[in-house]
Structure 1
Amino acid sequence: MFSVSNEKIFDTLEFDKVRQRIKQYTQTELAQSKIANMKPSNNYETIQTWQDETEQSLGLLLQDRLIPVPRLRSLDQPLKRLELGASLNGKELAEVGKLLTSTKQVIQFFEILAEDEKFFPALQDWVDQCIHLPEVEKLIHNAIDEDGSVLSSASSQLASIRRNQSNTEQQVRNQLNQILKSRANQLTDTLITIRNGRYVVPVKAEYRNQMGGTVHDQSSSGQTLYMEPQSVVNLNNRLAELKVAERKEIERILDEISQSLMAYTNEIRTNQEMLAQLDFIQARAGYSREIDATKPILSKDLIVALWQARHPLIASEDIVANDILLGEEYKALIITGPNTGGKTILLKTLGLLHLMGQSGLHIPAEAGSQIGVFDNVYADIGDEQSIEQSLSTFSSHMTNNVRIINDATHESLVLFDELGSGTDPQEGAALAMAILEHFRKMGTTIMATTHYPELKLYANDAKDTINASMEFNSDTLSPTYRLLIGVPGRSNALEISKRLGLPNAILQTAQEGVSRDDQSINEMVANLEFERRSAEQDHIKAEKFLEDAEQLHKDLRYEYNRWLEQKSKIVEKAKQDANELVREKQDQAEKILSEIRELQLEQGQSNTIKEHVLIDKRSSFDDLKLPEELKKNKVLKRAKEKKKLKPGDDVEVLSYGQRGSIVEQSGKDEYVVQMGILKMKIAEKDLEPLKKVEKPTKVNVQRSVGPKVKTSLDLRGQRYDAGLSKLEEYLDSALLSNHPMVTIIHGKGTGALRNGVQKALKEHPQVDRFEYSPPNAGGDGSTIVYFK
């Protein structure tokens, strides 16, 4: 953790205000305490874990899912009293019950997420430490109401006492209602009220003796007496006795429950800690969503790369985002320029974002931004003049600087606002350069602002140091609040004065008072600004040209691919049409050849037309076909070359489209092929190997007819596990019976069996879909199942 002696930094960089903003997202008192004590860490693994927690909780929020942590009061004091053997009151026991119920709900919340295959390991680590105490939870909820009152169901004795109370109160009211009706003229109002725990009626003072009874109170004027009539004295006494008995029974019940809780104080305290931790994490995520923050990348090498960084406490419409780069090419950034340019806000932004990031908070910057894991952040910002110590502004700043010099290391981030100000400019500039040189040699990461022109030259010459400035618009005479790295700031006083109408004679005198070195520096800065703006404009033009070129290339690529696709479709369509035409003619020829063969068989003229002549004639049609898949033919050709043919192999004669069997090899690349009754010599390249055709084996299958499976299954009254087991057996039987659909009757009830049935159906490989039955056929009390 950061040094305790440096906690002043939280106020300087307004980290306390950030913590207050986060508190509004908490539900538990303990989480608010965690936020109040939230501090940055300088341990890489710890920060990474915190960042993962915030990221995963933010992921839940962006899905409109809230971890179910309700408002919970701290139970630290009640738990201490339990550990000392003291009893808790009803409200405290109700809070314990609320905590235990919330613990159960949080565990179930993450179990449901896991069933949906949504895992949040950084959060699950805390959930896994939660301890569900169902018996203790049930004990409290059966006896204590949410408001802390003891329920009549807490004990039979308490229930009996309260029944007697109710009956006695009703008797009292009946008696008093009769008095209200019969003696209305003696009363100031016809109502029943209570004084000193006794039921009374308002009697006019002059009828005191006629009414009879006990006076318990009177009005401020003395005209009304609140009297307990003698007829209800015994009933009121009975009520008082019952109240005493009720109070004793309640005390006994509270003591009994408290005794039961004493053995679980560690578990209850653990649950409180886990829920508070989850609430704390969710509050961090809530603030991250509010400021549109992102998870930073952590750098052990202390490299800072903040892209479009914003101060979180300034409205987005009022802040100018800036890129802040430190630690890689240079370790020190010296910002020069006039006041009101935004230098101080930039310093605070850099420091505050590191305090936030190293505390596990996301930072208001673009995705991919990187922060260094610094061992501490030090800052000397603003006027810290101490009246009590009678210190000047310079002395106050120097006191702070001395502390920073003594405490900071090469792994610290140091921020100086107007370094060396408040004293003689020459001495102040010399001190500022000496301090910067001290930290440069140490290797400390530093950002400093200054008015001194000497520091511009220092930043230009010193190793690992770079100039920067806040942009100023000379046309509008106002700052733009944009950080310009590599460009030192320049004084605009003479230029502004000229535009505001200061006489030329005065300006000339002032110009002569500016040293040549200062003029040279300002001219150098002006030239740098001009070159930067020119380069920026050229860069913008180049980006526009590149964007247009990329779009043109994308359009051309799209049109070229579309042309290739259309060309391929046209060629393929032409081949298909041609082959279809050939197939039609081939079918016609086949018909003719078939007729010729039949005629030949009928006439017995076997020598009139030879079989091979007919085959040759038909093969001419195959030659007319166009190859639709050239690649496929090449693959087949290569496959043929790999396999050596031998006698007995089944082959396809490609030129004739006939299946045959190889009898013998007649030449180097030639085989004798038997096709039906015909033997022919065929070239090897015209043969395609085929799989051997096995002779079919006859199999006698005997089917036994069992009892017909019904098209519905009634699971009502079944226990969960037994019902699902029965469902699985039934589905197998229904599938064997070739039922296209069946109905599962599970009833409505609590919905557990129904949910289990539908989950099993969803996982069954042969179930196509399922739905509730129509309203007139059972509605959601039964489910219709359709098989594939």
Structure 2
Amino acid sequence: MQEDMLRTLEYQKMKQQLMTHVASDLGKDNIHHLFPHTDLADVQLAQEETGEGEQVLRFRGHVPLGGVHDIREEIKRAQLGSVLDPQDFTNISDTIRAGNQLKAFIEQLLEEEEEISIPHLHTYVLDLIPLTKLEASIRRTISENGHVLDSASEALRAARHQISTFEATIRTKLEQMLRSKDAETKLSDRVVTIRNERYVIPVKQAYRNAFGGIVHDQSSSGQTLFIEPQSVVTANNQLREARMKEKQEIERILRVLTEEVAVEGEHLSSNTDILAQLDFISAKALYARKIRGVQPQLNDHRYLYFPQARHPLLNESDVVPIDLEIGGDFHSLVITGPNTGGKTVALKTVGLFTLMAQSGLFLPTAEKAEATVFTNVFADIGDEQSIEQSLSTFSSHMTNIITILQDVDDQSLVLFDELGAGTDPAEGAALAVSILDKVHARDARTVATTHYTELKGYAYNRSGVMNASVEFDVDTLSPTYRLLTGVPGRSNAFAISRRLGLPENIIEAAESEMAADTKQAEQMITSLEARYQEAEQAQEEAEDTRRQAEKLHRELDRAFAELQDQKQSIYEEAEAKAKAEVEKAKQEAEAIVADLRHLQQEGHAVKEHELIEARKGLEKASPQLTKKQERVKRKAQQANSYEPGEEVFVPRFNQSGHVVETSGKDEYSVQLGIMKMTLKAVELEKTSRPKPEKNEKRFTRVSGRSSHVKPELDLRGERYEIAMTEVEKYLDQAVLAGYGRVHIIHGKGTGALRKGVKELLAKHPSVKNTRDGGMNEGGIGNTVVELK
């Protein structure tokens, strides 16, 4: 694929958008060298890596890549024997630490999220070598701001102690001179300063011999001399010697540390390459999120399908999505329509989407997009008139087309913009047909735009060729930018002229000049457009009907479930009321039977079997439960007896599942296939699935530090990545708890944690506003958050 073709399809501009999502110069370098793959396996790998990056963003919202530096130049200099600067070591140490943090981040993610699948990213981080010994050596020697620490060696500590002692001695003596009675007379200013790395005082020219010593400099006017008094010359000499010792010791320390870096040079280089790739993958995932991209399905039969495609370089609020398809029932697509109607944008969209897919990037389309891999993408787009070569627009296009025809084959995608334009219409149209025939014969995938009427009928006479057009609204005299596949474009000149008020007799005269076959073609196209719009409207209505039916179905399901609950409640209430009535009747009957027995004992004629029959009749009067009521009663007796992992049957949905956790009193969270639902105990039935082993490894997401949500979250002392996760979880809990305002206590420190918290809060959908704490609220060490 040629560089000028990539520029024509605005591939470089797209890369500039992608560049804004990298975290380091390493990622920028990878994007700078990004080029479309031409092997299906390579494209598949690149797409899978982007998909894994998107999964990480979906589960965690970010990839921790802070602190990564491009240290390849430092590694090379260390291996060549050059002594590195303290800042070089700081960059190396930061990069080692960033790699270790990223490795821990991925491994923790895999532990906590069973459903995530990121094998490529996991392989990358497994290949990262910790190099903790080298990092510790650097941290022990170099401070975070690139200063060699006193603790680097005893000799350095001693030299710096001497420097401090000599500086204090010199300042004491000089300050005594500044406070003397005649200082105001002899000195230009009462201040101690430095010249040539030696402490001096500003003396007026007239008193240059008053202090003795050495003159090191003078003012521009010559009225002030910067003199090192004789009394501090010896101390300044001693200070200079101490500083030389310090410098020599620092050089020795840096040389030893450089040798350690050189020894680990290969491992550092390998880690750097891996971090560059991970930064690149993260940038692709972030870009996919920004453009709302989807992962295209790849195929090997040169089929493209981009539903609801949106060109990524156009403003999303202005762009009109279009459906693009080629390579299935037809291999060539001819698009006709007015200028500024969107033909060229459609052409560039096909080309850029193909290049993006082959670069491992997601596409801003609807779901179920498909892409393929071409060895070559050829494009002849725009006005390429060359003044330097004295070529006209037509000649420039023909030069490009000749080059394309030399290399095109069945593994090519060819894009022609205004094919045959710039010359006599009849000859241009004939050339366009011939060129399209040639490319089509080589089985290339072709998309061409044109104004020529002759090409409108081209698709009807060729197998594997399809017409398309960009829609134009005659009422508003403007294009709609919608692409209509299967409908050729028609001339709108007469309709537009009528709308603008051109006399009807002129229009009728013009229409009479048109050939009969041209009129028939225009009428046919008008009819096709009308039918297309009718079919589209019918499809939209059918889609609305389907959505309404689905909504109604959901509402009926919900209503049925509520009805069943009400029905069961009525059953239970009636049963309880009936039992109470029967119990009352029993008590009254027992009393009567007791009276009868008493009468019998007194000699009255009451038979025993009559008493027994009366009691049996009372027992039969007790209400009997139906089978369904018995089952509900049995299930009610089983309430609160389910445990996580236990398999259950849900008669309401005629489906089996398993209990995930207890959601509340007599309620359980149950996994039914891909759905997780909260159901009452009476809606469940036990099955025979065994309970999980006690030693079975289970992962439980911790929702917070405590089940009680406090109005503040204290992050002081936490690691950055853990703190960010804690903030996200806490905000969700605070919203559920109903808090309107909470406090995030992150402390002041280096400011990194505060900055990270501020950035996270700015993007969180539940945050309404933030501010720093007041004087009585911890100041900038506390961020006050107002929740929506």
TM (norm. structure 2) is 0.74
Aligned-partner residue type, residue 134 of structure 1: T
Contact 1:191 1:202 in 2 (8 A): yes
State the shift of 1:24 in Å: 1.9
Q: What is aligned with 2:336?
A: 336
State the Cα RMSD in Å: 3.3
In structure 2, how many angstroms separate the alpha carbons of the residues matched to 1:750 and 1:572? 57
Q: Give 1:71 shift.
A: 4.6
2:7 is the counterpart of 1:18: no
How does 1:161-310 map onto structure 2 within 5 Å? Answer: 161-182=159-180, 183-310=183-310
Q: Is the 8 A contact 2:302 2:327 kept in 1?
A: yes
- The equivalent residue for 1:131 is 129
Amino acid at match of 1:395: S
Query: Residue 151 of structure 2: which of 150, 153, 159 is its match?
Result: 153
Equivalent residue, structure 1, for 2:683: none
2:467 is aligned with 1:470: no
Alignment partners' CA distance in 1, 2:351 and 2:396: 21
Q: Residues 506-655 of structure 1 correspond to what in structure 2 (within 5 A)?
A: 506-544=506-544, 566-567=566-567, 569-586=569-586, 618-630=615-627
Q: Which runs of 5+ in 1 are unaligned?
A: 636-748, 756-788
Residues 400-424 of structure 1: CA deviation (Å, up to 9, x unaligned): 2222223233232221111122222
Aligned in 2, Cα 1:127/1:546: closer, same or farther, shift over 3 Å? Answer: closer
What letter corresponds to residue 11 of structure 1 in structure 2?
Answer: R
In 2, the alpha carbon distance for the partners of 1:751 and 1:391 equals 67
Alignment of 1:403-414 (within 5 A): 403-414=403-414
Per-residue deviation, 1:388: 3.2
TM-score (norm 1): 0.74
1:441-461 CA-to-partner distances (Å, cap 9, x unmatched) read 333222110111111111122
After TM superposition, the structure 1 stretch with the greater mean CA deviation from structure 2, 247-256 or 180-189, is 180-189
Change (3 A) 1:159 1:597: farther
Match of 2:110 in 1: 114
Q: Secondary structure at the match of 1:334?
A: strand
Measured after TM superposition, the shift of residue 327 of structure 1 is 2.0
- What is the deviation of 1:561? 5.9
Question: CA separation of 1:598/1:631 partners in 2, compared to 1, >3 Å: closer, same or farther?
Answer: farther
Letter in 1 for 2:155: Q
**Structure (1 or 2) with the larger CA radius of gyration:** 1
**1:229: Cα distance to partner?**
0.7
Secondary structure of the equivalent of 1:149? coil
Q: Contact conserved, 2:100 with 2:130, CA < 8 A, in 1? A: yes
Q: Tell me the amino acid that sits aligned with residue 168 of structure 2.
A: Q
1 CA distance for matches of 2:298 and 2:406? 27
Q: Which residue of 1 aligns with 2:357?
A: 357
Indicate how the Cα distance of structure 1 residues 594 and 416 shifts in structure 2: closer, same or farther if over 3 A, else same.
Answer: farther
Instruction: Please list, as runs of the form range in 1=range in 2, the aligned pairs for 1:625-774 lying within 5 A after superposition.
Output: 625-630=622-627
Q: Aligned in 2, Cα 1:102/1:489: closer, same or farther, shift over 3 Å?
A: same
Query: Which position in structure 2 is the counterpart of 1:7?
Result: 3
The corresponding residue for 1:370 is 370
Contact 2:69 2:95 in 1 (8 A): no
SS at match of 2:510: helix
Query: Residue type matched to 1:517 in 2?
Result: D
SS in structure 1 at match of 2:260: helix
Partner in structure 1 of residue 33 of structure 2:
37
1:338 counterpart SS class? coil
Shift of 1:131: 0.9
Residue 614 and residue 358 in structure 1: after superposition, are their counterparts in 2 closer, same or farther (change >3 A)?
farther
| Residues 576 and 628, structure 1, Cα contact 8 Å, conserved in 2 | no
In structure 2, the residue matched to 1:84 is: 80
Shift of 1:599: 13
Q: Is the 8 A contact 2:300 2:373 kept in 1?
A: yes
Shift of residue 320 of structure 1?
1.3
Give how far 1:253 is off: 0.6
Paired residues of 1:152 and 1:162 also in contact (CA < 8 A)? yes
Secondary structure of the 1:470 match is strand
Matched position secondary structure for 2:390: coil
Give distance in 2, aligned partners of 1:609 and 1:504. 117
Give deviations 1:517-568, integer Å, cap 9, x for gaps.
2222222212222222333344444555555566566656665665565455
SS in structure 2 of the partner of residue 135 of structure 1: helix
Aligned equivalents of 1:135 and 1:539: distance in 2?
A: 67
CA contact (8 A) 2:470 2:489 kept: yes
Between 1:471-480 and 1:510-519, the stretch displaced more is 510-519
Pair 1:102 & 2:98 matched? yes
Extract unaligned runs of 5+ from structure 2.
Answer: 633-715, 723-788
Q: 1:172 to 1:353 in 2, by over 3 A?
A: same
**Structure-1 separation of matches of 2:542 and 2:105:** 53
SS in 2 for 1:96: helix
Match of 1:674 in 2: none
Question: Partners of 1:553 and 1:227 in 2: how far apart?
Answer: 97
Alpha-carbon spacing, 1:62–1:751, altered in 2? closer, same or farther (3 Å)? closer
Contact 1:97 1:140 in 2 (8 A): yes
Letter in 2 for 1:391: L
Q: Which moved more, 1:73-82 or 1:205-214?
A: 73-82
**8 Å contact from structure 2 (residues 473, 480) kept in 1:** yes
The code of the aligned residue for 2:42 comes to T
How far off its partner does 1:312 sit?
A: 0.7
Which residues in structure 2 correspond to 1:424-435 (within 5 Å)? 424-435=424-435
**Distance in 2 between residues matched to 1:194 and 1:263, nearest whole Å:** 42
